[in-house]
Amino acid sequence: MCFTPDDKQLLSASDDKTIKVWDLLTGKLVQTVQNVPFSIIGFKFLPNSERIFSITTANTLEVRDAKTFAILKTYENLGFYTDPDFKAPLTPDGKYEIYPYYRSFFVREANPSAPVTRVNPTVAAPTVSWELPAAERLTVSLNNYTVKACVQGTDISQYQLYLNGVPLNGRTIKTVGCSMPIDQSITLQSGENDLYIAGTYGGNSFTSEHRYINYQPPGATPGTTTATSSTANTSRTQSNLDEFSNRQALVIGNSTYQYGNSLDNRPINDARDVAARLEKLGFRVTTITDATKTQIERAIGQFSRVAQNADVTLFFYAGHGLESEGVNYLIPTDAQLEEPEEARLQTIPLDLILSEMKRYKTKVNLVYLDACRNKLFRSWNRDGIGRGFKTVGQLSQSTKVYYATQPGDVAQNGTGRNGVFTTSLLKYLQRGVEIEDLMRDVTKDVITNTRNSQQPWSAGTLLTRFTF
């Protein structure tokens, strides 16, 4: 929704692919625009009020006439303005530059005499000083490595470390002489690993020099694999690794809620422990903890860009979740919900992740949800809230969703380091285990440990056999 610049009308978009215009003085519907190509999730007027932008569920931007709502231009596959090679396109009249982000965007006035992506001559490009690794190329025998670097410059709005093209979320510690440091522990994959730092400054983008770390396990010869005692299992596992070599995972754990009941530290422990295990199983993992709505949306957007051409993707969430009016939601740590119906505005619908996965060219998509642990907000009554998640609707034949408990039930938070479901998952998630065997063992273990009070559930079908 958005207001017209004169504050006299309100625009709203509906799932029925229409745009409705409401008179704010009378509260009456004054216009309905039919046959909108995609469902619109946001509006924004350009500063000149003659054009309106709409952003859709298909991640496209549409420029419309502010009076007739006719589409003047459609922008697709723009990327994100944080991408190192991003170049801002112009609006049809050439007056504004467009800076898109995940299901959002902003515009800024363009300089007609300058190229589309212009560099402000008064702002020098940032510099990056590498401490570790200092050399351009390095060979190591351990898969854990700490990267240290310092980014220096002015008007820097964002910077991030990338490993093999994947942005890494990590905590940095300010050091003497460097206000914008990189100090992150990373997990290397076998062979060569590509490191660089990229970001934005003054509306422009920058990319550092690359560093290359070659990880060779002790005793391994480059280009070969290490033998094990079980030839059959090794052959089957290696075959599966070859078929599913590009493994991407997004792991989220939310424990501390600003306005609701917190969950000790278990969801964060769940996320970190699952991420560490997946890395050992060949996944490239993005992990975020105690994440806000914006941080989760950003992580999903970044993950979707690297996951589109993966062989297998895995999404794991631990924390609060709820079902309201038939829709499952994951709860960010900054959600402040007075009523359950507000979930659609302040939370992350599970359908967002599932719809993104439908766009991937993957062979297998796995979703693990250790959520719905107890009531989030003390002030809520039970009206309008489902007890636990509901089962999802139709899924693609490459996607399967695993719930910590059956539909309509609440998962136990546990008493140890991890939640009940994640404890069992970590117990059986090992190299060489087939996905259906894994979940069969996990289900039995959870039922036994909870004395039949919690039963994991799944939805979807996998036509491809997958082994971790």
| Per-residue three-class SS string for 161-221 | EEECCEEECCCCCCECCECCEEEEEEECCCEEEEEEEEEEECCEEEECCCEEEEECCCCCC
> Are β-strands 385-386 and 457-460 bridged in parallel, bridged antiparallel, or unpaired?
unpaired
Tell me which residue has tokens 């502010």.
Answer: 66
Q: What is the pLDDT of residue 225?
A: 38
Which residue spans within 6-47 are E strands per DSSP? 9-14, 18-23, 29-33, 40-45
Domain limits for position 83: 2-109
Whole-prediction pTM: 0.52
Q: 325 near 384, Cβ under 8 Å?
A: yes
Judge if 21 and 105 occupy the same domain. yes
Domain boundary among 181, 215, 249: 215
% of the chain residues with pLDDT over 90: 14
Domain boundary among 215, 244, 266: 215
Judge if 201 and 164 occupy the same domain. yes
Alpha-carbon gap, residue 76 to 82, rounded angstroms:
17
Q: What is the pLDDT of residue 229?
A: 39
Q: What is the pLDDT of residue 123?
A: 66
Tell me which residue has tokens 């006439």.
Answer: 65
Judge if 95 and 135 occupy the same domain. no
Helix (H, G, I), strand (E, B) or coil at 316: strand
Judge if 266 and 388 occupy the same domain. yes
Low-confidence ranges of the chain (pLDDT < 70): 1-7, 14-16, 35-42, 46-49, 56-59, 77-86, 101-107, 110-123, 169-177, 203, 218-242, 340-341, 372-394, 408-411, 413-414
Residue 225 lies in a domain: no
Number of domains in the chain: 3
**AA letter at 437:** D
Q: What is the pLDDT of residue 73?
A: 80
**49: number of Cβ within 10 Å:** 11
Residue 465 lies in a domain: no
Residue 223 lies in a domain: no
Q: Is 290 left (phi over 0), alpha (psi -120 to 50) or beta?
A: left
- For residue 320, which of 347, 281, 280 has the smallest C-alpha distance? 347
- The CATH code of the domain that includes 210 is 2.60.40.10
Domain boundary among 189, 215, 241: 215
Judge if 186 and 313 occupy the same domain. no
Helix (H) or strand (E) holding 150: strand 144-152
Judge if 288 and 369 occupy the same domain. yes
- The CATH code of the domain that includes 390 is 3.40.50.1460
Q: What is the pLDDT of residue 435?
A: 92
Alpha-carbon gap, residue 313 to 91, rounded angstroms:
36
Residue 222 lies in a domain: no
Residue 410 lies in a domain: yes
Judge if 158 and 105 occupy the same domain. no
- For residue 239, which of 431, 461, 463 has the smallest C-alpha distance? 431
Residue 98 lies in a domain: yes
Q: What is the pLDDT of residue 317?
A: 95
Judge if 179 and 259 occupy the same domain. no
Judge if 98 and 143 occupy the same domain. no
Please name the residues in contact with 454: beta carbons below 8 A apart, sequence gap of 6 or more.
404, 405, 409, 411, 412, 420, 421, 446, 447
Judge if 99 and 144 occupy the same domain. no
Judge if 181 and 329 occupy the same domain. no
- The CATH code of the domain that includes 17 is 2.130.10.10
Helix (H, G, I), strand (E, B) or coil at 347: coil
> Are β-strands 96-101 and 127-132 bridged in parallel, bridged antiparallel, or unpaired?
unpaired
Helix (H, G, I), strand (E, B) or coil at 239: helix
Q: What is the pLDDT of residue 444?
A: 93
Judge if 288 and 388 occupy the same domain. yes
- For residue 125, which of 155, 98, 150 has the smallest C-alpha distance? 155
Alpha-carbon gap, residue 84 to 78, rounded angstroms:
13
**292: number of Cβ within 10 Å:** 15
In the chain, the largest separation of any two C-alpha atoms, in whole Å, equals 79
Residue 397 lies in a domain: yes
Q: What is the pLDDT of residue 381?
A: 40
Residue 120 lies in a domain: no
